[in-house]
Amino acid sequence: MRRSAFILSLCLLLGAADAIAQSPRLTRHGTLFGLGRTSLQDTYLSPLHYSGAQLMFLSETQRTTALRDSSITYQTLLQGDFFTTENPASNADILGGTLRYDLGWLFHIISQPARPSPLSSPLPSLKERGRGESLSFSLGPQIGGSIGGLYNTRNGNNPAQAILDIHLSAAANAEWRFRLWKHCFTLREQMDIPLMGLMFSPNFGQSYYELYSLNNTDHNICFTHPFNAPSLRNRLTIEIPLRWCTLQAGYLLDIRQSKVNEISRHIVTHAFLIGWTRQLMIVPQKAKKKDT
């Protein structure tokens, strides 16, 4: 029943993507690179806690839509991580990497002051840069998934662990644009919290040889929720306008946890982010044909 409700929610949200109107829209692209530290434990590989350095990238796109008078923003997030960690005795390493993709819809709840042009809400147009302060707050659903793996360099038996999941999340985004030194800066914070999903996990003591070669499955697709997989991603950034683009710097807290099939896993990352943001006006091909 839980899996059916989750799959139905995914279908409804994916169907909403097809309803985005084919009209000129403002698009913001952001690219961030990060350096940080990761702490992890996966009891399938080791009961010990490992920690070490992490490299990552995060690509974000926000696009205004014609839905509800342009008060809904379509957002995509692509995040890649690679980390190398060691145990407290420094005699074993766990290497890992994940690729995560999320898409969502942010419903514009608060905008002060309100903008008269629906095309520019909730994103500011290029002409609106530097016109004073504004505050906005958005909420909405996200769907996404992760794929990756962990590898323990010391384990001879079961040295690797796969990471595979899909999830439905709630996203909250707040933006404050303010003037300082005759320039307009933007302070942004976004938090994404998974609410339910499905993840792959071997059972405790079950080897991948049993699973794939002998086809001995044992409840390997698990339903996840905040009680058995409490996780969140929180990103705080400041945007500084430059001549050709906008510099973006900030901090990322990424917590991914689960306890299913008697296996506990947590991966906690703190990272410093730096990158850039650009805004474009996109005119879809269908709109161009209508004009001609």
What pairs with residue 78 in β-bridges? 59, 101
> Regarding predicted confidence, which is higher, 61 or 126?
61
Range of weakest confidence among 13-27, 40-54, 160-174, 178-192: 13-27
pLDDT tier at 115, thresholds 50, 70, 90: very low
pLDDT tens-digit profile of 36-75? 999 999 999 999 999 999 999 999 999 887 766 667 899 9
Pick from 278, 102, 276: nearest CA to 190: 102
3-state helix/strand/coil string of 123-156: CCCHHHCCCCCEEEEEEEEEEEEEEEEEEECCCC
Domains of the chain listed by start with CATH number? 2-13+28-291 (2.40.128.100)
Task: Please give the helix or strand (H or E) that residue 12 lies within, else none.
Answer: helix 2-17
Pick from 265, 191, 203: nearest CA to 228: 265
Residue 9 pLDDT greater than 70, yes or no = no
Dihedral-angle region of residue 227 (phi above 0 means left; psi in -120 to 50 means alpha; beta otherwise) = alpha
Residue 226 pLDDT greater than 60, yes or no = yes
d(C-alpha 175, C-alpha 184), whole Å: 13
Cα–Cα separations (whole angstroms), residue 100 to 24, 59, 164, 198, 221:
29, 11, 10, 14, 18
Is the distance from CB of 106 to CB of 171 less than 8 angstroms?
Answer: yes
d(C-alpha 138, C-alpha 108), whole Å: 4
Pick from 59, 5, 15, 65: nearest CA to 33: 59
The pLDDT score that the predictor gives to residue 127 is 47
The pLDDT score that the predictor gives to residue 100 is 98
d(C-alpha 201, C-alpha 243), whole Å: 49
d(C-alpha 291, C-alpha 287), whole Å: 6
For range 127-149, the mean pLDDT = 82
Pick from 266, 270, 271: nearest CA to 48: 266
pLDDT tens-digit profile of 251-267? 999 999 999 999 999 99
Cβ-in-10-Å burial (0-12, 13-18, 19+) of 26 comes to buried
The pLDDT score that the predictor gives to residue 281 is 66
d(C-alpha 232, C-alpha 7), whole Å: 21
